[in-house]
């Protein structure tokens, strides 16, 4: 299919950038760009504030579920509003990409491209290899006609990817990556090396260590597609301080386990150029709101519990950029 430029709004007019240069820089200097999901105003404010203060490029992610929850139109206007807010911040702007997370159809990707997204993910990982290639290629052709970058996925992560739930993960087969990248023309590739979505990533008994990610698969992929940007999904660390807070203030998340920061640091130094984090943000919000409600049961002004949650989110994101992804100070 040859697509013509039919976009109603180009992301360039809105001030977003695609991920091409972001990934080139990340690959060259050995860090990963944060991709943080947002569903509401407080999360968006916190992500931008943290990334502007820590001078980090950032990928703002909107999932299909987020579009359904917050309304697709409202959410993308929030993204645009964020770019205006950015211009007013005294620290100065940082590169921001607006990205569709786990797009599952050509129509969804097209709708996002037409309405100002600078990057889309087409997740054909639940399909057969040939169907994944076909769908991804179709999205790439349309996206590239608008200078929008595309992330594909090979291998399946366990957990919920929007409505697609997979109980078991399937590691990426490195033998497929070169053919996939060549035939689809994707700009980056999400691979499965043992992470999963959500807050319960591993079953770990008392005193047991979290199993290491399959860095051997990552290395084999790097060998077969040298210099090509790799994406790591399911990369929340599920920080114990917030899990403890949740459990202390009435929650019940006893066996929550994430990816140790040390393993993410190692990944960020490799060809992994984009690290996806959603659950850690959810946990921070839940922990702080539970604490406020427990300590002030009479509180009923949402600003009094969402405000402290936003403050804590800023700290968590800034710390990730600084100490885990290595993206702080790169702008
Ligand atoms: O990959 C999953 C992301 O965390 C998005 O989650 O589909 O519940 O918005 P969601
Ligand atoms: P987490 O659930 O580990 O935050 O992963 C988020 C993600 O991969 C979004 O695409
Ligand atoms: Zn994901």
What pLDDT digit, counting tens, does each position of 215-224 carry? 999 999 999 9
Rounded CA gap, 273 and 194, in Å? 17
Closest-CA residue, ligand 2 atom 1, reads: 234
- For 280, the token pair is 């850690």
Tens digits of residue pLDDT in 275-308 = 999 999 999 999 999 999 999 999 999 999 999 9
188 within some domain = yes
63 lines ligand 1 (CB under 6 A): yes
The Cα-based distances of 88 to 10, 81, 84, 318 in angstroms read 22, 11, 7, 20
279 lines ligand 2 (CB under 6 A): yes
- Ligand at minimal distance from the CA of 320 is 2
7 within some domain = no
> Cα(275) to centroid of ligand 2, in Å?
9
DSSP assignments along 223-254, one per residue: HHSTT--EEE-S-----HHHHHHHHHTT---T
> Cα(252) to centroid of ligand 2, in Å?
21
- E-strand spans in the chain? 33-37, 58-63, 96-103, 119-122, 149-154, 159-161, 164-166, 188-191, 230-232, 272-277
> Cα(235) to centroid of ligand 2, in Å?
6
Vertex 10: Cα angle to 121 and 317 (nearest 5): 50
Q: Which of 29, 68, 101, 244 is catalytic?
A: 101
Closest-CA residue, ligand 1 atom 2, reads: 161
- For 10, the token pair is 């180009």
2 within some domain = no
CB-CB contact of 96 with 15 (8 Å): yes
Q: Which atom, in ligand 1's list, is nearest to the CA of 64? A: 7
Rounded CA gap, 39 and 81, in Å? 14
Q: Phi and psi at residue 236, in whole multiples of 5°?
A: -75, 145
The Cα-based distances of 187 to 143, 182, 184 in angstroms read 11, 10, 9
Q: Report the pLDDT value the prediction gives residue 259, as an integer from 0 to 100.
A: 96
65 lines ligand 1 (CB under 6 A): yes
> Cα(268) to centroid of ligand 2, in Å?
15
Rounded CA gap, 133 and 125, in Å? 10
Tens digits of residue pLDDT in 12-31 = 999 999 999 999 999 999 99
161 lines ligand 2 (CB under 6 A): no
Fill in the DSSP letter of residue 8.
S
101 lines ligand 2 (CB under 6 A): yes
Mean pLDDT across the stretch 95-110? 97
* Region of poorest pLDDT, from 65-74, 114-123, 155-164, 236-245: 155-164
| pLDDT above 60: residue 5 | no
Rounded CA gap, 13 and 160, in Å? 34
Fill in the DSSP letter of residue 210.
P
Confidence of residue 168 (pLDDT cuts 50, 70, 90): low
Which residue from 36, 60, 63, 70 has its CB within 8 A of the most atoms of ligand 1, so it is best to mutate?
A: 63
135 within some domain = yes
Q: Report the pLDDT value the prediction gives residue 317, as an integer from 0 to 100.
A: 98
| pLDDT above 70: residue 3 | no
Tens digits of residue pLDDT in 227-275 = 999 999 999 999 999 999 999 999 999 999 999 999 999 999 999 999 9
Q: Report the pLDDT value the prediction gives residue 159, as an integer from 0 to 100.
A: 64
8 within some domain = no
235 lines ligand 2 (CB under 6 A): yes
Confidence of residue 204 (pLDDT cuts 50, 70, 90): confident
Active site residue 173: no
Structural domain boundaries enclosing 193: 13-325
> Cα(110) to centroid of ligand 1, in Å?
20
Mean pLDDT across the stretch 174-190? 98
For residue 155, give the CATH number of its domain. 3.20.20.70
Rounded CA gap, 127 and 164, in Å? 11
Q: How many residues does the chain have?
A: 331
Task: Look at the chain and report how many structural domains it folds into.
Answer: 1
Q: Which residues pair with 100 in a beta bridge?
A: 62, 120
331 within some domain = no
Mean pLDDT across the stretch 173-196? 97
């Amino acid at each position: 299919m040859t697509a013509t430029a039919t976009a109603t709004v180009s992301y360039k007019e809105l001030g977003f950038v695609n991920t091409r240069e972001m990934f080139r820089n990340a690959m060259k200097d050995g860090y990963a760009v944060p991709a943080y999901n947002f569903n509401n105003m407080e999360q968006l404010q916190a992500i931008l504030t943290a990334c502007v203060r820590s001078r980090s490029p950032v990928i703002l992610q909107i999932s299909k579920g987020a579009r359904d929850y917050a309304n697709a139109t409202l959410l993308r206007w929030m993204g645009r509003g964020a770019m205006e807010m950015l211009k007013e911040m005294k620290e100065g702007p940082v590169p921001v990409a607006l990205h569709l997370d786990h797009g599952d159809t050509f129509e969804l990707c097209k709708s996002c491209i037409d309405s100002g997204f600078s990057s889309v993910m087409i997740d054909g990982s639940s399909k057969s290899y040939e169907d994944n290639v076909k769908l991804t290629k179709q999205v790439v052709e349309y996206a590239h006609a608008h200078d929008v970058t595309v992330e594909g996925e090979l291998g399946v992560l366990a957990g919920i990817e929007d409505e697609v739930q997979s109980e078991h993960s399937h590691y990426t087969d490195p033998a497929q990556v070169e053919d996939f990248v060549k035939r689809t023309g994707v700009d980056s590739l999400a691979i499965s090396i043992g992470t999963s979505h959500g807050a319960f990533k591993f079953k770990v008994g008392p005193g047991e260590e979290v199993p290491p990610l399959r860095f051997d698969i990552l290395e084999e992929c790097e060998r077969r597609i040298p210099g090509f940007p790799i994406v790591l999904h399911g990369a929340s660390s599920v920080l114990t301080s917030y899990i403890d807070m949740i459990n202390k203030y009435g929650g019940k998340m006893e066996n929550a386990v994430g990816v140790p920061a040390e393993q993410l640091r190692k990944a960020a130094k490799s060809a992994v150029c984009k690290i996806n984090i959603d659950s850690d943000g959810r946990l921070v919000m839940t922990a702080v709101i539970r604490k406020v409600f427990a300590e002030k049961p009479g509180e009923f002004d949402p600003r009094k519990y969402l405000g402290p949650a936003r403050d804590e989110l800023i700290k968590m994101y800034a710390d990730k950029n600084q100490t885990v992804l290595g993206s702080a100070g790169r702008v």
